[in-house]
Every structure is written in structure tokens, then in C-alpha cells.
A and B are shown apart, each in its own frame.
Chain A
């Protein structure tokens, strides 16, 4: 995944709901969210296809195996507070202060020696990289097969 190829600290500043591609967020090192932010994996099951693009790997890794699978399977809506309790969000920040807080953290990191901040990101994401490298290809193949089946049934129904 090339978000992991961004080899400098990555801060996600969530200005509201994340109903798709939440893997972008879970590959960040620091996650700030407004109180209105909620998480859900919506479009995969809405379209009837396997959520195999990495959310299947990352949610169980971040919030725990049982919680993560339940989140995906039930299209659970996770509010910012619960997401913070479960370890997917670091701080809840009012919308008007969100970017200022992100910049404050970012400037602190930018003051580190350049190789140090860069290599710390790499060191911190080794395990995530292994998980993604190991599972994303297979998950996406399963998603593709399920998409072909959905397309076939839609075509059959005219």
C-alpha cells in the first residue's frame, strides 16, 4: 500500500464521517477526529461485495479481532468516543480547532532531525506493512471474485 510508502509521520485530521476507505486513516500514525466523526464500512456490503481491500486486515488489528470483525460484518457505526476508547482515535477535537491541533503536533515532529522522524515512521509501521503485504492481495482477489458474481447476477436479472 503506498500510504505506507509515505515514510514520514502521517497525521489524519478527520473533519467528519469516514464511511469508506477507512484504511487510509488506520495507516496514519496519529488520528484526530471531530466529535461528529463516525466510522463505518458501508459501500462494500451496500454493493454486495467482500470488504477485502485492507479494512478486513486493519480494523481487527487496531480495535481487536472480535470487535473488528463485528464492525465489518454488521456495518457498525462507531462514534468518535468509542473509537477513541478502542484505540482507533487519539484525540477528539472540536472542528474549529482540528487543523490547528494537527499543525501543532506536526510542527513538533518537523523539528526532529529529518532522518529521525522519517525512520521512526518506518520503524513504527513495520508490522502494519507485513500485515498489509501478506493479506491485501488475497483479500482484493476475493473482493474481485465477489464483485464478478454480483455483476453476473445483476446481468442475469436484466
Chain B
């Protein structure tokens, strides 16, 4: 189990805050505004959910977005559907998220 301070600032696209009682708020974002989902955030969120799940001090989780959408924008950056290896990687990532 990792204490909150070890991962609080580890995720560029998720702002994490936790109340005294253990309510963790997760606000997904890109540069503070609405999230633009891409292959990198996909990878990052796998780790994010894993960290949250591994910390027994998180008692309840609120998942929200930033700006005017929860998730409505996608960029092809960081996705690789053009090779069997890339597809395998994306598939493995999606299975874990």
C-alpha cells in the first residue's frame, strides 16, 4: 500500500484531492481544462486506477471531469492500430483499464 503523497502528483491528467474522511476526488483533465483522451492518457489511467485501488486509505472515490465535458475529445496521438504489436499493446492496456 502506498501513501497518498507518493502518487498524488504522479498523474499529469488527473487532479487528486482527498478529504480527512478518505473521500478521494479524481478530476480528469488536460492542462487543467477538459480532458483530451489519447493513447498516453489511456496508459496513464491504467496506472491511476491501479494506484487508487492499492491505497487502503481511499474510502470512497468520486470520478469527475473538468471543463464542460466528462470525456468527449479524442486525439490519435499515442495510439497504434497499425501494427499487430501496437494492436496487442492497446488491447492489453484496454483489458487492464
Contacts and interface: CB of A to CB of B under 8 A. Distances in A.
Interface in A1-49: 1-3, 5-21, 24-25, 28, 36-37, 42-43, 47, 49
Interface in B47-62: 49-50, 52-53, 58-62
B64 A14 contact: yes
Interface in A110-153: 110-111, 114, 117, 136-137, 140-141, 143-144, 147-148, 150-151
B39 interface: no
A28 to B, nearest CB: 7
A10 B72 contact: no
Contacts of B74: 20, 43
Contacts of A7: 53
A127 B41 CA distance: 28
A15 B23 contact: no
A144 B66 contact: no
A15 B68 contact: yes
A137 B96 CA distance: 10
Contacts, number: 139
A36 B34 CA distance: 15
B70 A148 contact: no
A110 B67 contact: no
Contact of A5 (B53, B60, B64, B95): B53
Contact of A8 (B19, B61, B69, B95): B61
A144 B94 CA distance: 11
A61 B87 CA distance: 27
Contacts of A47: 81
B55 to A, nearest CB: 10
B68 to A, nearest CB: 5
Contact of A20 (B25, B59, B61, B72): B72
Contact of A11 (B63, B69, B71, B95): B63
Contacts of B66: 15
Interface in A42-61: 42-43, 47, 49, 53-54
A25 B60 CA distance: 15
Given A13-B64, A16-B70, A21 B37 contact: yes
Given A19-B72, A24-B63, A103-B23, 19 more contacts: A1-B95, A6-B61, A11-B60, A12-B70, A14-B70, A17-B72, A18-B70, A21-B71, A99-B62, A103-B25, A109-B59, A109-B60, A110-B22, A117-B60, A140-B91, A140-B95, A143-B94, A147-B81, A148-B81
